[in-house]
Chain A
Amino acid sequence: MELILQTWIHSAKKPSANELKTFTSLVVLFPSDEQLLSETAKFCLERGLTDEAATVATVGYANATSSESRQNFSRWGGK
Protein backbone atom coordinates (compact mmCIF):
# COMPACT_ATOMS: atom_id res chain seq x y z
CA MET A 1 0.00 0.00 0.00
CA GLU A 2 2.79 2.36 0.96
CA LEU A 3 4.58 1.73 -2.33
CA ILE A 4 1.45 2.46 -4.37
CA LEU A 5 0.83 5.67 -2.44
CA GLN A 6 4.45 6.81 -2.74
CA THR A 7 4.35 6.15 -6.49
CA TRP A 8 1.24 8.31 -6.84
CA ILE A 9 2.79 11.04 -4.68
CA HIS A 10 5.92 11.09 -6.85
CA SER A 11 4.10 10.79 -10.14
CA ALA A 12 2.82 13.37 -12.58
CA LYS A 13 0.02 10.92 -13.39
CA LYS A 14 -2.39 11.02 -10.45
CA PRO A 15 -4.98 8.35 -9.64
CA SER A 16 -8.62 8.78 -10.55
CA ALA A 17 -11.13 9.49 -7.79
CA ASN A 18 -12.41 5.92 -8.10
CA GLU A 19 -8.93 4.46 -7.76
CA LEU A 20 -8.31 6.59 -4.69
CA LYS A 21 -11.64 5.59 -3.16
CA THR A 22 -10.77 1.90 -3.62
CA PHE A 23 -7.35 2.56 -2.15
CA THR A 24 -8.72 4.29 0.96
CA SER A 25 -11.20 1.47 1.53
CA LEU A 26 -8.17 -0.85 1.83
CA VAL A 27 -5.92 1.51 3.77
CA VAL A 28 -8.37 1.60 6.70
CA LEU A 29 -7.76 -2.13 7.11
CA PHE A 30 -4.35 -1.17 8.51
CA PRO A 31 -5.38 0.96 11.53
CA SER A 32 -2.03 0.72 13.28
CA ASP A 33 -0.04 2.12 10.34
CA GLU A 34 -0.08 5.79 11.33
CA GLN A 35 2.25 6.90 8.59
CA LEU A 36 0.23 5.23 5.84
CA LEU A 37 -3.02 6.65 7.22
CA SER A 38 -1.67 10.18 7.60
CA GLU A 39 -0.09 10.24 4.13
CA THR A 40 -3.27 8.85 2.59
CA ALA A 41 -5.45 11.40 4.36
CA LYS A 42 -3.21 14.26 3.20
CA PHE A 43 -3.12 12.92 -0.36
CA CYS A 44 -6.92 12.60 -0.45
CA LEU A 45 -7.27 16.20 0.75
CA GLU A 46 -4.86 17.39 -1.94
CA ARG A 47 -7.00 15.55 -4.51
CA GLY A 48 -10.20 17.12 -3.14
CA LEU A 49 -11.62 13.92 -1.66
CA THR A 50 -12.60 15.32 1.73
CA ASP A 51 -14.98 12.50 2.67
CA GLU A 52 -12.34 9.83 2.02
CA ALA A 53 -9.75 11.91 3.87
CA ALA A 54 -12.09 12.15 6.86
CA THR A 55 -12.77 8.41 6.82
CA VAL A 56 -9.07 7.61 6.85
CA ALA A 57 -8.32 10.35 9.40
CA THR A 58 -11.03 9.03 11.72
CA VAL A 59 -9.38 5.60 11.75
CA GLY A 60 -6.03 7.30 12.35
CA TYR A 61 -7.49 9.45 15.12
CA ALA A 62 -8.88 6.41 16.92
CA ASN A 63 -5.53 4.62 16.79
CA ALA A 64 -3.11 7.53 17.15
CA THR A 65 -0.26 6.92 19.58
CA SER A 66 0.49 10.56 20.40
CA SER A 67 -1.47 13.74 21.00
CA GLU A 68 0.37 15.43 18.13
CA SER A 69 -0.67 12.70 15.74
CA ARG A 70 -4.25 12.85 17.04
CA GLN A 71 -4.29 16.61 16.41
CA ASN A 72 -3.11 16.09 12.85
CA PHE A 73 -5.76 13.49 12.13
CA SER A 74 -8.35 15.83 13.64
CA ARG A 75 -7.16 18.60 11.32
CA TRP A 76 -7.68 16.30 8.33
CA GLY A 77 -11.28 15.55 9.35
CA GLY A 78 -10.86 12.74 11.84
CA LYS A 79 -13.03 12.58 14.93
Chain B
Amino acid sequence: MPSVPGTALAQVRDATDGEVADAVAQWCLLTSRQSPNLQTPLRDAARRAIGHAQHVGQSTEPQVFAIAGLVELADGNVEDARTLLESVATYADLNVDARFELARLRFAEANSHLGASGRTFDATQTTAILALLDPFLWQPPGSSDPWN
Protein backbone atom coordinates (compact mmCIF):
# COMPACT_ATOMS: atom_id res chain seq x y z
CA MET B 1 0.00 0.00 0.00
CA PRO B 2 1.46 3.42 -0.90
CA SER B 3 2.12 5.65 2.07
CA VAL B 4 2.25 9.41 2.47
CA PRO B 5 5.89 10.53 2.64
CA GLY B 6 6.96 11.34 6.16
CA THR B 7 4.27 9.27 7.81
CA ALA B 8 4.28 5.75 9.15
CA LEU B 9 1.44 3.28 8.77
CA ALA B 10 -0.48 2.93 12.00
CA GLN B 11 0.15 -0.31 13.85
CA VAL B 12 -3.11 -1.67 15.20
CA ARG B 13 -3.12 -3.69 18.41
CA ASP B 14 -5.52 -4.48 21.24
CA ALA B 15 -5.72 -1.82 23.94
CA THR B 16 -4.36 -2.82 27.32
CA ASP B 17 -6.63 -2.96 30.36
CA GLY B 18 -4.98 0.24 31.58
CA GLU B 19 -5.59 2.07 28.33
CA VAL B 20 -9.25 1.04 28.32
CA ALA B 21 -9.66 2.18 31.93
CA ASP B 22 -7.90 5.46 31.14
CA ALA B 23 -10.13 6.15 28.12
CA VAL B 24 -13.36 5.23 29.93
CA ALA B 25 -12.50 7.16 33.08
CA GLN B 26 -11.39 10.24 31.13
CA TRP B 27 -14.67 10.20 29.22
CA CYS B 28 -16.62 9.84 32.48
CA LEU B 29 -14.74 12.75 34.09
CA LEU B 30 -15.17 14.98 31.06
CA THR B 31 -18.87 14.22 30.80
CA SER B 32 -19.42 14.69 34.52
CA ARG B 33 -18.08 18.25 34.23
CA GLN B 34 -20.75 18.98 31.62
CA SER B 35 -23.54 17.20 33.48
CA PRO B 36 -23.55 18.13 37.18
CA ASN B 37 -26.59 15.95 37.94
CA LEU B 38 -24.74 12.89 36.64
CA GLN B 39 -21.48 13.47 38.51
CA THR B 40 -21.92 10.71 41.06
CA PRO B 41 -22.85 7.88 38.67
CA LEU B 42 -20.18 8.94 36.17
CA ARG B 43 -17.44 9.04 38.79
CA ASP B 44 -18.63 5.67 40.09
CA ALA B 45 -18.34 4.35 36.53
CA ALA B 46 -14.83 5.79 36.28
CA ARG B 47 -13.91 4.06 39.55
CA ARG B 48 -15.31 0.76 38.31
CA ALA B 49 -13.26 1.00 35.11
CA ILE B 50 -10.12 1.78 37.10
CA GLY B 51 -10.86 -0.97 39.63
CA HIS B 52 -11.39 -3.50 36.85
CA ALA B 53 -8.02 -2.64 35.30
CA GLN B 54 -6.23 -2.84 38.63
CA HIS B 55 -7.88 -5.86 40.20
CA VAL B 56 -9.00 -7.99 37.26
CA GLY B 57 -6.40 -6.94 34.68
CA GLN B 58 -3.66 -6.56 37.31
CA SER B 59 -2.68 -3.32 35.56
CA THR B 60 0.14 -1.28 37.02
CA GLU B 61 0.20 1.14 34.10
CA PRO B 62 0.99 4.72 35.15
CA GLN B 63 -1.95 6.23 33.28
CA VAL B 64 -4.32 4.22 35.49
CA PHE B 65 -2.85 5.79 38.64
CA ALA B 66 -2.99 9.22 36.96
CA ILE B 67 -6.66 8.97 36.04
CA ALA B 68 -7.43 7.49 39.47
CA GLY B 69 -5.81 10.59 40.98
CA LEU B 70 -7.92 12.87 38.82
CA VAL B 71 -11.11 11.05 39.85
CA GLU B 72 -10.18 11.41 43.54
CA LEU B 73 -9.47 15.09 42.99
CA ALA B 74 -12.83 15.59 41.29
CA ASP B 75 -14.40 14.05 44.40
CA GLY B 76 -12.48 16.39 46.68
CA ASN B 77 -10.18 13.73 48.11
CA VAL B 78 -7.09 15.91 47.78
CA GLU B 79 -4.68 13.80 49.84
CA ASP B 80 -5.50 10.57 48.01
CA ALA B 81 -5.29 12.40 44.70
CA ARG B 82 -1.90 13.85 45.58
CA THR B 83 -0.55 10.43 46.57
CA LEU B 84 -1.73 8.84 43.34
CA LEU B 85 -0.49 11.66 41.12
CA GLU B 86 2.88 11.86 42.88
CA SER B 87 3.37 8.13 42.29
CA VAL B 88 3.43 8.75 38.53
CA ALA B 89 4.92 12.25 38.48
CA THR B 90 8.01 11.17 36.59
CA TYR B 91 6.09 9.24 33.93
CA ALA B 92 7.07 10.87 30.64
CA ASP B 93 3.67 10.52 28.99
CA LEU B 94 1.62 11.72 31.94
CA ASN B 95 -1.54 13.27 30.55
CA VAL B 96 -2.01 17.02 30.48
CA ASP B 97 -4.71 17.18 33.16
CA ALA B 98 -2.65 15.09 35.58
CA ARG B 99 0.40 17.28 34.98
CA PHE B 100 -1.54 20.47 35.57
CA GLU B 101 -3.42 19.27 38.62
CA LEU B 102 -0.31 17.90 40.31
CA ALA B 103 1.53 21.17 39.59
CA ARG B 104 -1.42 23.05 41.08
CA LEU B 105 -1.35 20.87 44.22
CA ARG B 106 2.40 21.37 44.61
CA PHE B 107 1.97 25.14 44.13
CA ALA B 108 -0.80 25.28 46.74
CA GLU B 109 1.34 23.38 49.24
CA ALA B 110 4.41 25.56 48.64
CA ASN B 111 2.26 28.69 48.81
CA SER B 112 0.67 27.61 52.09
CA HIS B 113 4.11 27.49 53.70
CA LEU B 114 5.01 31.03 52.65
CA GLY B 115 2.54 32.79 54.90
CA ALA B 116 2.69 36.54 54.96
CA SER B 117 6.40 36.67 55.60
CA GLY B 118 7.28 37.66 52.04
CA ARG B 119 9.49 34.59 51.62
CA THR B 120 9.73 32.91 48.24
CA PHE B 121 9.70 29.34 46.92
CA ASP B 122 13.11 27.72 47.05
CA ALA B 123 14.75 26.17 44.00
CA THR B 124 13.48 22.67 44.83
CA GLN B 125 9.88 23.79 45.17
CA THR B 126 10.09 25.85 41.99
CA THR B 127 11.60 23.01 39.99
CA ALA B 128 9.02 20.54 41.31
CA ILE B 129 6.22 22.73 39.95
CA LEU B 130 7.79 23.88 36.69
CA ALA B 131 9.10 20.43 35.73
CA LEU B 132 5.47 19.37 35.28
CA LEU B 133 4.55 22.44 33.23
CA ASP B 134 7.73 22.90 31.22
CA PRO B 135 6.85 20.51 28.41
CA PHE B 136 3.99 22.76 27.33
CA LEU B 137 6.35 25.70 26.88
CA TRP B 138 9.71 24.39 25.85
CA GLN B 139 9.15 21.03 24.21
CA PRO B 140 9.97 21.24 20.50
CA PRO B 141 7.28 20.14 18.06
CA GLY B 142 7.53 16.50 17.10
CA SER B 143 8.87 15.24 20.42
CA SER B 144 6.74 13.34 22.93
CA ASP B 145 3.23 14.76 22.85
CA PRO B 146 2.17 16.39 26.13
CA TRP B 147 -1.39 16.76 24.82
CA ASN B 148 -1.98 13.02 24.68
**Chain A residue at smallest Cβ distance from B125:** A11
**A4–B133 CB distance below 8 A:** yes
Give Cα A19–Cα B137 distance, bound, in whole angstroms: 9
Q: Which residue of B lies closest to A4 (CB)?
A: B133
Judged by DSSP, the binding face of A is helix
Judged by a CB distance under 8 angstroms, whether A6 is at the interface is yes
Say yes or no: A6-B126 contact (C-beta < 8 A), given A22-B137, A23-B137.
no
Quick check: A4 and B130 within 8 Å, CB to CB?
yes
The total of chain A residues at the interface (CB under 8 A) is: 13
Between-chain CB contacts (< 8 Å), 28 pairs: A3-B100, A3-B104, A4-B130, A4-B133, A4-B137, A6-B107, A7-B107, A7-B121, A7-B126, A7-B129, A7-B130, A10-B110, A10-B111, A10-B114, A10-B120, A11-B125, A11-B126, A12-B120, A12-B121, A12-B122, A12-B123, A12-B126, A13-B127, A19-B137, A19-B138, A22-B137, A23-B137, A26-B137
Additional pairs, 5, CB under 8 Å, beyond known A7-B129, A10-B114: A3-B100, A7-B107, A7-B130, A13-B126, A13-B127
